[in-house]
């Protein structure tokens, strides 16, 4: 599974589980449940640190908890199958709706004539900005290149295609252009229970520059990007990627490479986290996580 | 003249002036002086915003002020020729010595076991770090890639060739690695009379990250990088480079590019500026500039 | 309706609705409900941006949701009428009680010998300070004039009338007197779901000065001043008042005037928001707003 | 009662109430209830400002609310007695479990090779650090002496006994050693509803030094250390101890002594509060206190 | 002498001394010197705390130190008279030239399209802004009203008369409009040897707001506004003005009034002080004061 | 030599050199010079890191540079002897005068009714405070105990003996009492060319607390405490003292001890350094050091 973007990953996982549910053969509800859980665990193992993946699976697995007719194994298995398919479907619809709702909420912050900055390629952040443009506001965007993988190139293409005035800058120029920036919108890979945000490397530097210049900094994150495990103190594991993303190591004998894919933006540099339910103070993440824990039984996985 | 690095530019200018002085034919001291001034102005025009270039020329032009024998035009012309050659030579020697002295001063700050960070490829900063290594200190370096031109690749090659433990990181990872960094050393294109430092784009972000984590931030700058004109309020002009340095614009229809070559690090984020004379507080730049103005008569160019 | 102060506006709106309820003639419960809703919408239209007005109306409109006897139109209409009157009355009593409870909570923070600062004329903030005085604490107050309308003049009169040692200062002197200040208490027009506070122009400057000098800054705001709409990203609209409040424009040909009535104090400069329920961290506004949304069905208006 | 440490005090109070419940003779449930309440009030009076004491008592007094058999006074009294004993016991077990759970949560933040700093002698903070050591992580600790009573000496003994590499420093050296520190863990006497932490004098200075150097600062506090009264604005009373703790006043004629036992660390310098339920943002204290108020009826005491 | 503005006061003092020198009758150089010194002391006594007044007098009194012909009392007296007149004249010319030079230096910082903010009515600050406008730059200005005396009304008239786009705001709105401001220029009553600036009440609040939003803050001050006495630790005495400037005290029985005319902006909030010699870092004030002390022998007054 | 206090050390060194000069027998001026230099080097070796010691010796050694009569060895030797004695004497008188001048300058900052804080036992800081008291100002002082050697006990004795209202607090209470403090005065062991101050451990924490609460922080340091070597980048070596100063290591098996005698207060937390010449901005240290280098030829030692 080589999908990019926490939201896309979550939906893909739900879809995979749904497809699996359609095909699985089982003698008993127990066996069906077991098979689905195994499938979910298998999917989770492909990216054990992806919070949205885990949450997407848990949302879908709620389908295993439906009331069974109890009139024999095969009817019960079919009821579970339907439950699973519906739950996964519901999550996919919810996820797509969440991005739209988030764009609606966030775009209200953008006034006519405003200039935004973003980093990486967050569909949620792009959605917020595009919504403002579609609402007829005259806006401008600075998009950071986002080394090493340069996802900013996708962002500028998307924004330019939407007809938005967008300027590509290198990541190091964020502080220089911050003086002409009114608002920053970024995405999130994971939000911790303490309101810190794990996102593409460079995000926290942009946040620091925004803070220094009194520019509001907003994080766009659907609720399934909030990590329940961090409430118990778990650290979000940050993957170290291959040096080749930066340069060809064979050209640089004796040189080491440091390539962490994410960094952590502390809550104190964030004005609000924009979720499908609205703009919450970053410390409100604690509340979101508590609600998630009630809703999703994470002991299953 | 496509030379990289403010110090190298200054020395190249002195060299060019020296070569010119050797060849010029003149009927009178006046004519010789005029010719040399024209040559200097011509050189300056190639990079009108390069402060070290102007200062290197002014240092060399002091050769035109020597005592003339006064026993006839040709002897006087030859005296001026010798004066010019010696002055330019003196500046070149001084410049090379300054980088060495600066390395000596700065390296004293590096303790055994320390980790440094740097950005771009400053021969002065590399000199400081290499000196510490040659003195037998066990050190480690994080070098930022320095988009768009990636001068950090030169830095890691130089440091690795010197046997130093060096790690290449993308510019956006500076804040992440700052937590493991003891000292930052960067170079300077220009130092203003107010103690602000103009240097490669991204320098001020590294400074901000250093400040946030209580990591001392040092700027390496020989005195001829200090701008006399900024005392009178002149802004250091920051060149906007071609978009091609970032990406091929033809691949990105409708996208603009922002590519300023330098940014400005404010004095308040700088612990000391290391010159050939020692480590001065950034506000000491005012004193350096006043001394320069007494030494170099800048009304000539 | 030319009433000053968010609390007074809320109570006046409830009162108006109550009076209307007493007089309205209706054939059916439906008609009564419709008439009341129209009245509420009409009242809201007089100050569409006043959050406390909207909340006061919604609190009163809860009266329309009572259980009806169901034994015929006229009995049902009378039941609704009584419900409306009681609900509006309950809100007015609650509002008055809230100011008193808030004063009780806030005044506990004031120690004997303390000096307070305030800006504008907030009955809640004046209440807190007066309560401390009535409790026998020896206190002192600096009151800012609050240009352009100079509501500080009312504040000093009220405090002096209560026998409190009060000093009137111009708004620009807040930073100077902050060094002799122990606590700041201000009111609020609106509190956002993110814990930011919209209040009379100048409030955020006082907050900034308090922050700089480690002086605790408290906002006094009953829960009906919290804006539900800001959770969905709505910006609190800040009215631009007539230039005449500042100076006579005809005396100043060619001069423009900027006269926003409120400014926004960010959550990070606020130690606590004092509500009728106690002192909450500013980020607790998220919780207050969520509770309000459960309690008041705002889809009606 | 000369017990040190807020957790130990809470458990001792529950124990005392339990012992009392075992021995008390009462004619009626009413009399039993009354006697127990009086005992609780008596215990509370020994340290009226100790929040954990009050909360421990309230947790235990829940035993008075059990369903009575209602078949005669003596059976009812015995039922209450059992209820009280069980409730107190439950609290003691909960308290011990809370410290262990908290250690589990907090220790996840400690990475192999990390250096911690602590002040005073918090069993919760020591528990977090010791857990990391038992998990095989190679760690190092700087422990502040904690004048005037020097509880840091107990801490270094405990940590050294556990085989941990620990260094004793004077309180004034916290800023110097902060540069080599990765994480700070401290305990808490009381946590306010606004997320501020009352703890041994010096704690807030360590927090300030941590903030200055971007070092995460964690407070370890079981939920019964959260003060319900602070929600209503009550100030946590900070005891002024005898001068003899600092020096013999008779040796210093004419000299006054200032010896407050605690200071207050503001929420903004705290990364997270670690409770038995997990790591919460300091502002989450508001939520903890609201939950406590629902659970414990504090009108009884 | 009821003259407004530190520069105008200095020139008026020199003028008064010059007029006096023209008229004085003296038998001997000694008597002339004595008379002039007495006149200077008399002038100084009218505003003993005005630094520019003292410096203007000292500049003029240099005329008493000229070489005397020594050929008899009357010739010597006339030589002194001429010396005095010329010295005073020189100072007046220097002062006028200084304001112009300062405007030249400062205006270079203003780029086309920039928005400035100012407070009070500083001819130096107005000069800087007007120069930029005359140079054809399209600029905009926010001018603070400057309670209590409302000198901002003069500023907006001057700027509007010069054809500049100027907006009058109340002092409390500085933080709100700071987000749309590129540069701040203010005047100075006095600059201390440590680089702090004494200026009209409110200046330091504007500086604080500028700092918070990363907006450069410049102080315009000719060198004769630098206080030599502050080097020895003297505090600049800040006058407390009549309450009537704020409101009629008889309308406010029991109310006190606080009306300090100046406040102090700390060096750390100032990007540069613009003098006739250029833009110096605020700490360069130490150097300016040392030079003044060499130039002006201040033991005479 | 077990003398405490940088000033006392400098004077003792001059005294020792003077005594040596009185007794030395030498055949020639050369021999005398050599002997004195050796004596100076010997003295310096007792405390190689003491800057004031080195500067005191260099001040005294200026006596070796006097004009010799040149009429034979013995007259020349006596001339040198007299020169040395006079130079050493001059330095001792200068040093004593410097402390007095510094007290005069610094005490002007203390207003009637002010409260000061200090740490350790600096005769310069005590001098400033005592001067204000002798001038009839009603003042109050908080003195930090200064672990581990508790020099604060000496300070409170000295201040109480002088009749000053003084309160002893533990070092950790500095932040708590800072809220009631108007000014901080501390001494200095060494001032670096960059304006940083090396002083007793804990000084930088007090400075940080002062900064947080907008309390001016002053360092008292005579010019011979400024280190010339730091201009060339030399680090001030900070001695690690014996663990016994903190606790008896044999009572704490397995525990390490960290006991650095000094810490470093960065220039940015210092409002002014008070020298015998006045109050200079910390960055003015660069100027003081340059002047010292001109005055004292430090190549001799």
Q: In three state form, how does the secondary structure of chain A look?
A: CCCCCHHHHHHHHHHHHHHHHHHCCCCCHHHHHHHHHHHHHHHHHHCCCCHHHHHHHHHHHHHHHCCCCCCCHHHHHHHHHHHHHHHHHHHHHHHHHHHHHHHHHHHCCCCCCCEEEEECCCHHHHHHHHHHHHCCCCCEEEEECCCCCCCHHHHHHHHHHCCCEEEEECHHHHHHHHCCCCEEEECCCEECCCCCEEEECCHHHHHHHHHHCCCCEEEECCHHHECCHHHHCCCCCCCECCHHHCCCHHHCCCEEEECECEEEECHHHCCEEEECCEEECHHHHHHHHHHHHHHCCCCCC
Taking CA atoms, C223 is separated from C45, C125, C148, C289, in Å, by 22, 15, 28, 8
Copy the structure tokens of residue E112: 């086309």
**Left if phi > 0, otherwise alpha if psi is -120 to 50, otherwise beta: which for C5?**
left
Residues of A identified as active-site: 120, 189
- Terminal-residue alpha carbon distance, chain E: 19
Report residue D101 as tokens. Answer: 């759970």
Sorted by sequence, the CB contacts under 8 Å of residue E46 that are 6+ apart come out as: E1, E53
* CA terminus-to-terminus distance, chain C: 19
- In angstroms, rounded to a whole number, what is the distance separating the alpha carbons of residues B228 and D273? 53
Q: Are the beta carbons of B278 and F231 separated by less than 8 Å? A: yes
| Peptide linkage before A148 cis (omega within 30 of 0) | yes
Q: Predicted confidence band at A1 (pLDDT cuts at 50, 70, 90)?
A: very low
Query: Residues 236..275 of F with a Cβ closer than 8 Å to E: which?
Result: 268, 271-272, 274
DSSP string, F108-165: TTPPTT-EEEEES--HHHHHHHHHHHHTT---EEEEE--TTTTTHHHHHHHHHHTT-E
Which residues, other chains included, contact B71 with Cβ-Cβ below 8 Å and sequence gap of 6+? none
pLDDT at F299: 66
> What's the pLDDT at B236?
93
F with A: 3 or more CB pairs under 8 Å? no
Q: Tell me if E283 and F279 make a contact (CB, 8 A cut-off).
A: no
Q: Chain B contact for F27, CB < 8 A?
A: no
**Residue D117 in contact with residue D184, Cβ under 8 Å?**
yes
CA–CA gap between residue D102 and residue D274 (Å, rounded): 6
Residue F74 has pLDDT above 80, yes or no: yes
* pLDDT attached to residue E1: 45
Q: Decide if B145 contacts A147 (C-beta within 8 A).
A: yes
Is C271 in Cβ contact with D232 (below 8 Å)? Answer: no
Phi, psi of D3 (to 5 degrees): -90, 145
User: D165: how many CB neighbours lie within 10 A of its CB?
Assistant: 15
% helix / strand / coil in chain C, to the nearest 5? 50, 15, 35
Q: Is the dihedral of CA F240, F241, F242, F246 positive or negative?
A: negative
Residue-level pLDDT at C1: 45
**How many angstroms away from the CA of B287 is the closest CA of chain F?**
9
Query: Which of C114, C212, C214, C271 best tests the F interface by mutation, with the highest count of F CBs <10 A?
Result: C214
Q: Which residues of F touch B105 (CB under 8 A)?
A: 232-233
pLDDT, position C298? 67
Residue C255 is nearest to which of E144, E166, E212, comparing CB atoms? E166
Q: What is the mean pLDDT of residues A16-22?
A: 95
* CATH match for D6-99 among 1.10.3720.10, 3.40.50.300, 1.20.120.420, 1.10.540.10: 1.20.120.420
Cα separation, C61 vs C83, in Å, equals 9
pLDDT digits (tens, 9 = 90+) for F85-95: 999 999 999 99
Q: Which of B73-87, C114-128, F161-175, F247-261 has the lowest mean pLDDT?
A: B73-87
In whole angstroms, what is the distance from residue E90 CA to residue D21 CA? 97
Domain parsing of chain C, residue ranges? 6-99, 105-296
Question: D199 — phi, psi (to 5°)?
Answer: -150, 175
pLDDT recorded at residue F167: 98
F120-147 residue pLDDT tens: 999 999 999 999 999 999 999 999 999 9
Tell me, what's the ipTM? 0.94
- The mean pLDDT of chain B is 95
Summarised one tens digit per residue, pLDDT across range D118-141 is 999 999 999 999 999 999 999 999
Catalytic residue among D76, D144, D189, D209: D189
The residue among E80, E83, E95, E86 whose CA lies nearest residue E12 is E95
DSSP, res D47: S
* pLDDT band, residue E297 (cuts 50/70/90): confident
Q: CA of B230 to nearest chain E CA: how many angstroms apart?
A: 8
3-state secondary structure of B110: coil
Alpha-carbon gap, residue E82 to F212, rounded angstroms: 56
Q: Which pLDDT tens digit goes with each residue over E190-202?
A: 999 999 999 999 9
Q: Is the pLDDT of residue D178 over 70?
A: yes
- What's the CA gap between A16 and A232, in Å, rounded? 29
The beta-carbon neighbor of C205 closest among E161, E201, E209 is E209
CA C299/CA E231 separation, integer angstroms: 67
How far apart, in whole angstroms, are the C-alpha atoms of residue B49 and residue B60?
Answer: 18
Beta bridge partners of A166: A141, B255
Range with the lowest mean pLDDT among A126-135, B35-44, B66-75, D125-134?
Answer: B66-75
Contact across the interface for B169 and A202, Cβ inside 8 Å: no
Which E residues 143-202 touch C at CB under 8 Å?
144-148, 153, 156-157, 160-161, 163, 165-177, 201-202
Q: Which residues contact B42 (CB under 8 A, 6 or more apart)?
A: none
Does the structure show a pLDDT above 80 at F156? yes
CA distance A199 to A51: 12
Pure H helices in C64-111: 73-107
Residue E292 and residue C205 in contact, taking contact as beta carbons nearer than 8 Å: no
pTM metric for this prediction: 0.97
Do D and E touch (≥3 CB pairs < 8 Å)?
no
A106 contacts chain C (CB < 8 A): yes
State the average pLDDT for chain D.
95
Give the pLDDT confidence score for residue B68 in this predicted structure.
Answer: 85
Are B281 and F195 within 8 A, CB to CB? yes
Share of chain D above pLDDT 70, in %: 99
Residues 6+ apart with CB under 8 A from F2: none
Residue C61's pLDDT band (boundaries 50, 70, 90)?
very high
Nearest residue of F to residue D254, measured between CA atoms: F160
Whether the upstream peptide bond of residue D148 has omega within 30° of 0, thus cis, is yes
Angle at D201 between CA D196 and CA D203, to 5 degrees: 55
E233 close contact with F: CB closer than 8 A: yes
What pLDDT score does A213 carry? 98
pLDDT > 70: percent of chain F: 99
Angle, alpha carbons F212-F215-F217 (nearest 5°): 105
Residues F251-265 have a mean pLDDT of: 98
- Identify the band that residue F61 occupies on the pLDDT scale cut at 50, 70 and 90: very high
Mean pLDDT of C173-194: 98
> What is the CB neighbour count within 10 angstroms for residue F113?
10
Catalytic residues of E: 120, 189
| CB C58 within 8 Å of CB C297 | yes
- Chain C residue with CA closest to D284: the answer is C284
Q: What is the pLDDT of residue F1?
A: 45
pLDDT tens string F267-291: 999 999 999 999 999 999 999 999 9
For A223-241, the pLDDT digits (tens) are: 999 999 999 999 999 999 9
Looking at residue C75, its pLDDT comes to: 85
Over residues A151-210, the pLDDT tens digits come to: 999 999 999 999 999 999 999 999 999 999 999 999 999 999 999 999 999 999 999 999
Distance CA A148, CA B73 (A): 64
Give every CB contact of residue A73 below 8 A, 6+ residues apart in sequence.
A27, A28, A29
Round to whole Å and give the CA distance between E147 and F257: 58
Is the per-residue pLDDT at F213 higher than 60? Answer: yes
C-alpha span between D196 and D270 (Å, rounded): 8
Note if the bond before C121 is cis, omega within 30 degrees: no
Q: How large is the average pLDDT for residues F27-41? A: 94
pLDDT digits (tens, 9 = 90+) for D258-279: 999 999 999 999 999 999 999 9
Looking at residue E226, the DSSP 8-state letter turns out to be B
Determine, for residues F287 and B283 on separate chains, whether the beta-carbon distance falls below 8 Å. no
- Residue E259 has a CB neighbour count (10 Å cut-off) of 21
Cβ neighbourhood burial of F301 (10 Å; 0-12, 13-18, 19+): middle
Residues of E within 8 A of F274 (CB-CB) are: 233
Q: Which residue of F has its CA nearest to C181?
A: F179
What are E15-70's pLDDT values in tens digits? Answer: 999 999 999 999 999 999 999 999 999 999 998 889 999 999 999 999 998 888 88
* Chain F CB contacts of D257 below 8 Å: 167-169
Q: Do A287 and C286 touch (CB under 8 A)?
A: yes
Cα distance from A93 to chain D (closest Cα, Å)? 31
With CB atoms and an 8 Å threshold, state whether E247 touches C146: no
Model confidence at D1, in pLDDT bands (50, 70, 90)? very low
Please choose, from the candidates F267, B204, C176, the residue with its C-alpha nearest in 3D space to the C-alpha of residue E208.
C176
Catalytically active residues of C are: 120, 189
A213 touches chain E (CB under 8 A): yes
DSSP character at residue E260: B
Would the CB atoms of F179 and C214 count as touching at under 8 Å? yes
Give the contacts of A160 (CB within 8 A, at least 6 positions apart): A166, B252, B253, B254, B255
Pairwise CA distance, residues B195 & B2, whole Å: 28
The predicted model gives F209-216 an average pLDDT of 98
Burial class of B231 by CB neighbour count within 10 A (0 to 12, 13 to 18, 19+): buried
Regarding predicted confidence, which is higher, A52 or F49?
A: A52
Residue B212 Cα, gap to closest chain E Cα (Å): 15
A113 shares contact with chain E (CB less than 8 Å): no
Hey, which chains touch B, using 3+ CB pairs under 8 Å?
A, D, E, F
Q: Are strands B272-275 and E183-186 parallel, antiparallel or unpaired?
A: unpaired
Counting CB pairs under 8 A, whether chains E and B reach 3 or more, is yes
CATH number for the domain whose boundaries are D105-296: 3.40.50.10470
d(CA B195, CA B96): 23
B172 C-beta neighbours (distance < 10 Å), count: 32
Give the residue-averaged pLDDT of E142-166.
98
Contact call for C179 and F214, based on CB within 8 A:
yes
Q: Which of F216, F284, F286, F290 to mutate to test the interface with E (most CBs of E within 10 A)?
A: F284
Cis-peptide, bond into residue A203, ω within 30° of zero: no
Average pLDDT of the segment spanning A28-39: 94
Neighbours of A170 (CB within 10 A): 28
Q: DSSP character for C300?
A: -
């Amino acid at each position: 599974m080589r999908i990019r973007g926490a939201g896309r990953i979550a939906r893909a996982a739900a879809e995979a589980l749904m497809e699996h549910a359609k095909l699985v053969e089982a003698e008993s509800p127990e066996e069906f449940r077991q098979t689905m859980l195994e499938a979910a665990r298998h999917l989770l193992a492909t990216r054990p640190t992806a919070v949205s993946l885990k949450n997407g699976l848990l949302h879908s697995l709620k389908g295993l908890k439906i009331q069974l007719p109890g009139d024999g194994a095969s009817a019960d298995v079919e009821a579970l199958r339907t439950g699973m398919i519906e739950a996964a479907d519901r999550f996919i619809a919810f996820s797509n709706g969440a991005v739209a709702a988030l764009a609606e909420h966030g775009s209200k912050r953008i006034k006519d004539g405003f200039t935004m900055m973003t980093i990486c390629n967050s569909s949620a952040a792009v959605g917020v900005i595009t919504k403002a443009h579609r609402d007829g506001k005259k806006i401008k965007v600075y998009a950071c290149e986002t080394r090493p993988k340069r996802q900013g190139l996708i962002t500028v293409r998307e924004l330019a295609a939407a007809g938005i005035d967008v300027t590509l800058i290198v990541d190091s120029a964020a502080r220089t252009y911050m003086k002409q920036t009114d608002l920053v919108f970024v995405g999130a890979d994971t939000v911790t229970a303490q309101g810190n945000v794990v996102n593409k490397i460079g995000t926290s530097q942009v946040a620091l520059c925004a803070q220094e210049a009194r520019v509001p900094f907003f994080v766009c994150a659907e609720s399934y990007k909030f990590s329940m495990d961090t409430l118990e103190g778990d650290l979000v594991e940050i993957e170290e990627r291959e040096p080749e993303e930066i340069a060809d190591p064979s050209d640089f004998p004796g040189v080491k490479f440091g390539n962490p894919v994410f960094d952590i933006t502390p809550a104190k540099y964030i004005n609000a986290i924009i979720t499908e339910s609205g703009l919450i103070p970053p410390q409100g993440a604690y509340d979101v996580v508590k609600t998630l824990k009630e809703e999703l039984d994470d002991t299953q996985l």
